[in-house]
Amino acid sequence: MNRGQKKHTISIRFKLMNLLLAVTVALSGSMAIVMYRNMRNVLMRESGYEMNLFCRERGMEINTQLLRIEDSVSSVSSWFLRQAEAPGALEKMRTDRSFRDKVLEQAESMLLLSAKRIEDARTIYFRYSLDFINQSEEGVFYVKSASGEFLQEPLTQVLDYPKDDMEHVGWYYLPIERGTPMWLDPYLNENINVSMISYEAPVYCGSTLIGLIGMDIDFLQLLDEINDIRYKETGYMYLKASDGSVHYHPSFLKHEDVHGDEADEVLDGEEEMGKSESSSIIHYLFHGNDRVMVFMTLRNGMKLVLCDGYHEIFRVANDTLNYLLVLVLILFALAAVALILISNHITRPLRQLAAAANQLSTGNYDVEFPRETSDEVGELTRAFRTAVEHLKQYSDSMEALAYQDALTRVKNVAAYRIEQSALEETIQKGFGEFAVVMLDLNYLKETNDRYGHSAGDIVLMKVASIICRTFPLSAVYRIGGDEFTVILKDSEYECRNEKMSELERRIRTNNESAKEPYLRVSVAYGLAVFDPKEDHFYEDVYRRADRKMYEMKQAIHAKNDQARSRERRERAR
């Protein structure tokens, strides 16, 4: 009898031990899975947004250079056209060499003045059309020397080469055939032995082609500048053709590893490849390496690509998983020690613990545990309670970090995306009353370069403080390096115009009382109000606010550029 009772006692302890082990594994494993999945999803969205934002910022810097070239060529082209449209000027220009030379001399001065203000410009030129002046080779051609000075070079004799000789005269015939200003694809200009991209503008007076104005960029220099850009530790950028047929790296010009999109095996995000600008991360394999990329299309049609290692991007998520695995092992060890001390009277508390584990597996940390006693069951209950409290604190802190900007303490991109989704649902249901304010801090890069990144951080915090004090009842988000968004609702929506005036007043007051030059901030902003008759998506309201902000930003930069030009002219006197 005693022998049978002994067997029965061992069996019960064994079953209870198995039960608690299962509970521990279920509890710890469920919490680890839920937390890891949530964290991974948040990091995936935020990493994609950060990469796209970084790519967009670098692309805007390049586009600014391209736009300045377009504007310079367009300005000279418009001036030249006005000269030709004067009464009798077109025929005189065709027949009178001295008149042509006089007009050319003025155009030459304008081209040189424009080119000297554009750092990346390598060559500038104007050519009278061969058909306009009876096959005569007339014009000017300047090439930037190693010292940065533009030196006049002999004209390329267009008639010496066939029309299909792209390396020598493609720059002349392609824009004429198209009839409109255009960017040429990268090519080797064998006239000066430089690889370049060119912006060409044929000048027409009515249907008469008068000439061709162009400005070139040293393509190798552009590739080197892009190759020097680094994203975090291992990310880098490169250019590719508009159709993806060629990827341009510095090694391309040495004919090393020339390839296009066919070398990239897309695993996820194939639909993004056909867009002009990616909105999420594209996961792909390159030569067997796991990688991710985003891209945007530049003004000349080429695509600027930012890529990085897949595992580098998601290193934080992997570290979180490792931490959770260690935590699971610790919990498992604690449970194993506690199981040695258990007895038959803990059966009911164990069922309660199992129920708590089921709730925790759904992500509910507010569970009820058995009453704490002074025996082994009480110790186990306290151990689980402490572990859950630590996990809840960790989860809460991770969630706070995931939705708060670390520098300015306003809400971050992840929180902004959640609010955007909520507004989208409101719009689709047919009602909604809100406004969007877009704000952009001007000259942050200049502040960082001149005073250091610590000063730039102080300026960002100062701007965030001004925005929060202006809109104390509204959600403020930092959605980019120097960009903020405010969603106005309720009372601040009703007095939005007064709030915008208050914002301008606070900025002015700050600048008047600033003790350091870098604390005088320049902020461009735009307000857009949701209109249910016109706006079908939140993005419609956002774009209007962004456009107004960008128009203000252009006006600020134009005003400051004019002021600087006046100062330079006064100093030159």
- Opening angle at CA 213, ends 224 and 196, nearest 5: 20
Helix (H) or strand (E) holding 126, with range, is: strand 121-128
Report the b/e string of 28-48 with b at 16+ CB within 10 A: bbbbbebbbeebbebbbbbbb
Burial of 421 (0-12, 13-18, 19+ CB in 10 A): exposed
Give which of 94, 90, 71, 72 is closest to 81, Cα–Cα.
90
DSSP labels, 334-402: HHHHHHHT--GGGHHHHHHHHHHHHHHHTT------PPP-SSHHHHHHHHHHHHHHHHHHHHHHHHHHH
Instruction: Find out whether 499 and 532 touch, Cβ atoms under 8 Å.
Output: no
The token pair at 428 is 């689709």
Instruction: Find out whether 437 and 526 touch, Cβ atoms under 8 Å.
Output: yes
Calculate the CA 137 to chain-centre distance.
Answer: 46
Strands (E), 370-499: 435-441, 475-478, 483-488
**What's the rounded Cα separation, in Å, for the pair 258 and 240?**
11
Please state the pTM of the whole predicted model. 0.54
The token pair at 98 is 């001295």
Give which of 364, 463, 489 is closest to 410, Cα–Cα.
463
Give the per-residue pLDDT at 378: 65
**What's the rounded Cα separation, in Å, for the pair 61 and 482?**
14
The token pair at 450 is 């001149």
Instruction: Find out whether 537 and 516 touch, Cβ atoms under 8 Å.
Output: no
Give the per-residue pLDDT at 102: 93
Helix (H) or strand (E) holding 567, with range, is: helix 538-572
CA atoms within 13 A on the CB side of 162: 2
- Kindly list the distances between the CA atom of residue 195 and the CA atoms of 116, 230, 255, in Å, as whole numbers in the listed order: 20, 24, 13
**What's the rounded Cα separation, in Å, for the pair 497 and 482?**
23
Per-10-residue mean pLDDT, the chain, length 573:
45 64 70 69 78 93 93 93 92 92 92 88 92 89 91 91 89 92 90 89 93 92 90 91 87 66 90 90 91 94 93 73 71 68 59 64 65 65 69 64 85 92 89 92 92 93 96 94 94 94 95 91 95 90 95 92 79 68
Q: Reduce the DSSP state of residue 51 to 3 states and report it.
A: helix
DSSP labels, 13-30: HHHHHHHHHHHHHHHHHH
Amino acid making up residue 284: Y
Give the per-residue pLDDT at 366: 67
Cα torsion at 337, 339, 340, 341 (round to 10°)?
110
Give which of 281, 541, 532, 352 is closest to 428, Cα–Cα.
532
